[in-house]
């Protein structure tokens, strides 16, 4: 058994997120579910998308099925609950709906296969998780993230994170390593100061800055997407907070502003950062610093060296180069089933 399984048990929630379809996210979920100690821990699992199909609905490639073990709790849509291939105890039917019906919560009485399609938004997912912990003393909730739905990996939702990457993300090893390392850099952004956390966490909209005297001000623009953003009166500013999405155009404006050369740019968490590796590196090189209000613990990075088109990267080379770039172990779960 690979060591990150024990690391998972240190936290009460885990998101498994693929950086692209067919990067091995479902295989990673299957690996984790097969090895958790269900005899001593209460485990619940759900998905913010749809998982467990035998064939990918986009690429038409084969996918591993989700097998739950006896005693595991799960949340899925009414449609997929009816299609389950296991005996289960029905616990709850939520008032919150999805495109496939209401969310059904149940406990597996036997081992068996299931399609997972749980809460459809980060807020409803968080409510489901909190309810599971309060009502059933769940020790660990596992969230299967959906393509381009990184909100499920937000620290506001889950404490820990596994990233799945691979040849489907890029068929060039150097490009794949660079793109994945950029995501890891964002996940590992440092926490801001306790004082900034206290003052900025309640602010969930807009652009804000703290001046040289420690006073908090709002900028005229509401988001970093605004075409016109004015930075008047920010001479000596040390902290700039973006409550929503951070994009390239805004980061470039900050970097080129002479009054913001050494600013601490604070974002809510890494899922709010939508900047390219190039702009991120230029900002850091210019003396800027980026921090977060909330941070998840990155447990592991896994790779799938095979692309949907059949192109296969050298697994050992990929794992070695990526591990060197991010400073963490990298696992090919298909090659190293333990």
Residues in the chain: 338
Convert the pLDDT of each residue in 281-306 to its tens digit: 999 999 899 999 999 899 999 999 99
Convert the pLDDT of each residue in 194-253 to its tens digit: 999 999 999 999 999 998 889 999 887 778 888 788 787 787 788 999 999 999 999 999
- Considering the entire predicted model, what is its pTM? 0.89
Identify the residue with better confidence: 163 or 145.
163
Q: Are residues 34 and 128 in the same domain?
A: yes
Number of domains in the chain: 2
Is 337 contained in some domain?
Answer: no
Count of CA atoms in the C-beta half-sphere (13 A) of 51:
32
Q: Are residues 257 and 245 in the same domain?
A: yes
Which domain covers residue 279, as residue numbers? 190-292
Could you please report the per-residue DSSP string of 86-124? S-EEEEEEEEEEETTEEEEEEEESS-EEE-B---SSHHH
Q: Are residues 173 and 34 in the same domain?
A: yes
Q: Are residues 55 and 76 in the same domain?
A: yes
Q: Are residues 135 and 158 in the same domain?
A: yes
Convert the pLDDT of each residue in 112-124 to its tens digit: 999 988 888 888 8
pLDDT at 58: 47
Is 247 contained in some domain?
Answer: yes
Q: Are residues 153 and 301 in the same domain?
A: yes
CATH of the domain at 44: 3.40.50
Could you please report the per-residue DSSP string of 273-286? EE--HHHHHHHHHT
Q: Are residues 194 and 183 in the same domain?
A: no
Is 338 contained in some domain?
Answer: no
Q: Are 17 and 161 in contact (CB under 8 A)?
A: yes
């Amino acid at each position: 058994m690979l060591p990150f399984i024990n690391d998972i048990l240190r936290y009460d929630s885990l998101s498994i997120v693929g950086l692209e379809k067919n990067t091995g996210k479902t295989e990673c979920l299957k690996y984790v579910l097969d090895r958790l100690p269900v005899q001593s821990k209460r485990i619940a699992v759900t998905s913010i998308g749809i998982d467990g199909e035998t064939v990918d609905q986009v690429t038409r490639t084969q996918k591993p099925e989700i097998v739950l073990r006896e005693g595991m709790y799960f949340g899925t849509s009414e449609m997929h609950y009816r299609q389950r291939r296991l005996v289960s105890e029905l616990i709850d039917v939520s008032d919150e709906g999805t495109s496939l019906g209401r969310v059904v919560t149940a406990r597996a009485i036997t081992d068996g296969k299931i399609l997972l399609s749980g809460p459809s938004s980060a807020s409803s997912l968080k409510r489901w998780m909190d309810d599971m912990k309060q009502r059933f003393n769940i020790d660990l909730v596992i969230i299967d993230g959906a393509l381009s739905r990184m909100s499920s990996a937000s620290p506001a939702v889950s404490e820990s994170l596994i990233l799945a990457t691979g040849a489907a993300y890029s068929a060039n090893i150097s490009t794949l390593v660079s793109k994945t390392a950029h995501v890891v850099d964002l996940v590992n952004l440092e926490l801001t100061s306790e004082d900034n956390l206290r003052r900025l966490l309640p602010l969930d909209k807009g652009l804000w800055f703290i001046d040289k005297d420690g006073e908090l001000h709002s900028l005229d623009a509401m988001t970093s997407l605004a075409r016109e953003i004015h930075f008047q009166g920010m001479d000596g500013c040390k902290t700039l907070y973006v409550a929503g999405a951070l994009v390239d155009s805004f980061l470039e404006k900050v970097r080129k502003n002479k009054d913001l050369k050494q600013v601490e740019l604070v974002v809510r968490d890494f899922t709010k950062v939508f900047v390219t590796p190039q702009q991120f590196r230029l900002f850091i090189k210019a003396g800027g610093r980026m921090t977060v209000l909330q941070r998840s613990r990155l447990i592991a990075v896994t790779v799938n060296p095979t692309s949907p088109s059949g192109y296969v990267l050298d697994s050992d080379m990929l794992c070695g180069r990526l591990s060197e770039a991010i400073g963490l172990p990298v696992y090919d779960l298909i090659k190293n089933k333990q």
